[in-house]
């Protein structure tokens, strides 16, 4: 027997490294007329590296001490930034202190108790409860050069910043162009990162419409707003913070290699072989199959 077109398309998408979860999804993805992309781990490689370690004088910590506390708190997290912090600390000394009472807030950061001290690591704007001159200056410097500034707070007081740099995926710009051509709409960037780092990266990827500083529910709201304007929104993301937006999307696609379990479960399709360019390929395969079905 010859395979029905949608099943052939699923097999074909699989050959391009995309796991499409059902025939219904295979059919829907071709209807996409708007695209929202996440930044960290989606447009970027998701293997960021710590480039700067800047303790504040009043913390009494040196660079190694700051990094080790942050890494101990980040160890249970599956966020790409957390892995960068842990890797950097392990390069300087393989054994990290234990952490207790770990919690994470998607789009914000993590908290844990390390050697009796409460350590928070995350977005400066979310962890500070008021203006802080030294933190703002240091974060501004780092973000100006496209880095993500991560604040470390120890027992309620800012202790220092980490600068983290991630690279654009090699196929990001080509994917943005291909999706714009296929869907007739320029993709938008939805990110929890700061506006400066986001603008820097968006420019490299060829994206004009950037919405930064978003919490998971803000990403969801952005997708719902596009949907209520009648758009069939394709969302691509990797994080726990992307899960609500992936669930609300007309089609949700998760980055598989480094994606969080929640994103993989929530998405309608998973990019297994880390190539972003497989997204427009799958849209095109769906269109072809639909022509055969009708």
The contact set with ligand ADP (CB under 6 A) reads 38-41, 74, 77, 79, 81-82, 107-110, 121-123, 148, 150, 191-193, 239, 241
Position closest to ligand ADP via CB? 192
CB of 173 to Mg ion, least distance (A): 18
C-beta of 45 vs 238, nearer to Mg ion: 238
Q: How far is CA 177 from CA 85, 174, 187, 208, in A?
A: 33, 5, 9, 12
CB of 185 to ligand ADP, least distance (A): 20
C-beta of 114 vs 240, nearer to Mg ion: 240
CA-to-CA distance for 210 and 202, rounded, in angstroms?
7
Q: How far is CA 202 from CA 7, 131, 162, 190, 238, in A?
A: 35, 27, 22, 10, 17
The answer to whether the beta carbons of residues 52 and 147 sit under 8 Å apart is: yes
- Sign for the CA dihedral angle at 206, 209, 213, 217 comes to negative
Residues 38-57 binding Mg ion (CB under 5 A) are: 38, 40-41
C-beta of 41 vs 252, nearer to Mg ion: 41
67 is in the binding site of which of ligand ADP, Mg ion, none (Cβ under 5 to 8 A by kind)? none
143 is in the binding site of which of ligand ADP, Mg ion, none (Cβ under 5 to 8 A by kind)? none
193 is in the binding site of which of ligand ADP, Mg ion, none (Cβ under 5 to 8 A by kind)? ligand ADP
Q: Whole-angstrom distance between the N-terminal and C-terminal Cα of the chain? A: 19
Nearest residue to 25 via CA among 226, 253, 272, 291: 253
C-beta of 10 vs 248, nearer to Mg ion: 248
Q: 112: which strand partners?
A: 119
CB of 259 to Mg ion, least distance (A): 8
13 is in the binding site of which of Mg ion, ligand ADP, none (Cβ under 5 to 8 A by kind)? none
Q: Per-residue x/- mask for Mg ion, residues 9 to 38, rule CB under 5 A?
A: -----------------------------x
CB of 193 to Mg ion, least distance (A): 9
Q: Where are the beta strands (DSSP E) in 13-105?
A: 18-20, 34-38, 49-55, 99-105
| Only segment of 84-92, 200-208, 223-231, 236-244 that touches Mg ion (CB under 5 A) | 236-244
C-beta of 150 vs 153, nearer to ligand ADP: 150
CB of 189 to ligand ADP, least distance (A): 9
Give the active site residues.
Answer: 38
182 is in the binding site of which of Mg ion, ligand ADP, none (Cβ under 5 to 8 A by kind)? none
φ/ψ of 178, rounded to 5, equals -65, -40
- 244 is a contact residue toward Mg ion (CB under 5 A): no
Burial of 269 (0-12, 13-18, 19+ CB in 10 A): buried
Q: How many CB atoms are closer than 10 A to CB 137?
A: 11
Q: How many CB atoms are closer than 10 A to CB 92?
A: 12
- Sign for the CA dihedral angle at 196, 198, 204, 206 comes to negative
109 is in the binding site of which of Mg ion, ligand ADP, none (Cβ under 5 to 8 A by kind)? ligand ADP
CA-to-CA distance for 129 and 124, rounded, in angstroms?
10
- 218 is a contact residue toward Mg ion (CB under 5 A): no
């Amino acid at each position: 027997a010859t395979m029905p077109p949608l099943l052939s398309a699923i097999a074909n998408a699989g050959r391009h490294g995309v796991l499409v979860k059902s025939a219904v999804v295979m059919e829907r993805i071709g209807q996409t007329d708007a695209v929202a992309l996440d930044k960290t781990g989606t447009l970027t490689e998701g293997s960021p590296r710590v480039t700067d370690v800047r303790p504040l004088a009043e913390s009494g910590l040196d660079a190694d001490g700051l990094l080790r506390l942050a890494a101990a708190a980040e160890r249970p997290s599956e966020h790409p930034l957390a892995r960068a912090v842990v890797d950097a600390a392990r390069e300087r000394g393989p054994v990290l202190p234990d952490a207790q009472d770990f919690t994470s807030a998607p789009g914000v950061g993590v908290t844990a108790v390390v050697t009796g001290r409460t350590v928070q690591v995350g977005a400066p704007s979310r962890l500070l409860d008021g203006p802080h001159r030294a933190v703002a200056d240091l974060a501004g410097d780092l973000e100006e050069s496209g880095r993500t500034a991560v604040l470390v707070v120890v027992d309620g007081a800012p202790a220092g910043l980490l600068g983290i740099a991630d690279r654009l995926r090699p196929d990001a710009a080509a994917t943005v162009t291909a999706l714009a051509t296929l869907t007739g709409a320029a993709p938008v960037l939805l990110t929890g990162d700061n506006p400066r780092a986001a603008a820097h990266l968006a420019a490299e990827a060829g994206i004009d419409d950037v919405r930064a500083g978003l919490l998971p529910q803000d990403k969801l709201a952005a997708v719902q707003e596009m949907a209520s304007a009648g758009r069939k929104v394709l969302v691509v993301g990797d994080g726990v913070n992307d899960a609500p937006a992936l669930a609300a999307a007309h089609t949700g696609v998760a980055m598989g290699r480094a994606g969080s379990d929640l994103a993989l479960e929530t998405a309608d399709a998973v990019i297994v072989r880390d190539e972003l360019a497989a997204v427009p390929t799958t849209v095109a395969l769906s269109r072809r199959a639909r022509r055969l079905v009708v």
